[in-house]
Amino acid sequence: MNIHFEKDPEKYLKLVESLLLEKEACNNLMLGILSRIVAGHSLYEGALLGYVEKNGVAIFPFMQTPPNNWIFPDLEVTSEDVTKEVAAFLWDKQIEVPGILGPDFLVKPFVEEWEKWNKVTSTIHMKQLIYQLDKVNPIPSTAGELVVADNKYHQLITEWLLQFGQEANEVISREDADHLAIQFLNDRSTFLWLVDGKPVSMVNRSRKTKNGATVNAVYTPDNYKRRGYATSSVAALTSKLLSEGAQFCSLYTDADYPTSNRVYKKIGYYEVGTSVVYEFTKK
């Protein structure tokens, strides 16, 4: 086995796309980020695009958009020895690994190996479920309508992203929340559920893959919870994405948060994979 970094995003995508598409919904994160990198999205400048090669063929991609965690894909045929080799490769190149995410059967061997090479300890930051939907289930009607957010909601979206981060155990700074809100508004990707003209819930259209689309940033303030607004907004956006050509939709959930998992299953999402996020701290 040989391990390489590829500097050309288009060449890299050609090398690894067929592998990732074998489980497209499970690999929506890598596929979606790669499509944005290829499109020249400035947010992902400096991405590290690695792959393991065997007999001249790429068998396992891995990547990082610094300073974020490294990402491993969900691949059926990969043995744990491959991810151990990746750990040794990154150590030899003296590359930072703040954390790593992916399916536990591939990530855990890497984590164990990384702890051997470094004076660090690992902790599980989050266990996630990956869902896919092919058809939206009929759901009880809820008062309100889904509308795309415009600039007048900039401050509201910033505040809701801050609150969403706290709720999801993914705390971000106000500056980052503000930048993210601007990005969402520029992309026209954030939708609000309005009741009598008042926003009560939020959902965002995130990454696109070859055949699918991803939903994220689903948030309802506490005083509007348990009224079906999140269910309605996710169902409405999902229906919109399917009607616009997506063959399926996908999303990540916190495995330890049963409320959101019930909501998504009610709409028609079903579990297709898992992902675990490990973080490293120096001893």
Report the pLDDT value the prediction gives residue 77, as an integer from 0 to 100.
67
Cα distance between residue 206 and residue 80, in whole Å: 31
> What amino acid occupies position 229?
Y
Report the pLDDT value the prediction gives residue 78, as an integer from 0 to 100.
64
Report the pLDDT value the prediction gives residue 282, as an integer from 0 to 100.
87
Q: What is the mean pLDDT of residues 214-220?
A: 95
Report the pLDDT value the prediction gives residue 258, as an integer from 0 to 100.
86
Q: What is the mean pLDDT of residues 95-112?
A: 95
Best CA proximity match to 72, nearest among 110, 35, 43, 34: 110
Give the whole-number percent of the chain exceeding pLDDT 90: 85
The 3-class secondary structure across the chain, one letter per residue, is CEEEECCCHHHHHHHHHHHHHCCCCCCHHHHHHHHHHHCCCHHHCCCEEEEEEECCEEEEEEEECCCCCEECCCCCCCCHHHHHHHHHHHHHCCCCCCEEEECHHHHHHHHHHHHHHCCEEEEEEEEEEEEEECCCCCCCCCCCEEEECCHHHHHHHHHHHHHHHHHCCCCCCHHHHHHHHHHHHHHCCEEEEEECCEEEEEEEEEEECCCEEEEEEEECCHHHCCCCHHHHHHHHHHHHHHHCCCCEEEEEEECCCHHHHHHHHHHCCEEEEEEEEEEEEEC
Give backbone dihedrals phi and psi of 34, rounded to 5 degrees, phi first: -60, -40
Class of the 133-273 domain? alpha beta
Displacement of CA 77 from its chain's centroid (Å)? 22
Report the pLDDT value the prediction gives residue 180, as an integer from 0 to 100.
94
0.85 exceeded by pTM: yes
Instruction: Domain ranges for the chain, please list them.
Output: 2-118, 133-273
| Burial class, 20, CB count within 10 angstroms (exposed 0-12 / middle 13-18 / buried 19+) | buried
CATH, domain 2-118, list 3.40.630, 3.40.50, 1.20.1250, 3.90.550: 3.40.630
Q: 133-273: same fold as 2-118? A: yes
pLDDT tens digits, one per residue of 185-198:
999 999 999 999 99
CA-angle at 167, arms to 163 and 168, nearest 5° = 115
pLDDT tens digits, one per residue of 136-189:
999 988 899 999 999 999 999 999 999 999 988 888 999 999 999 999 999 999
pLDDT at 41 over 80: no
pLDDT at 283 over 90: no
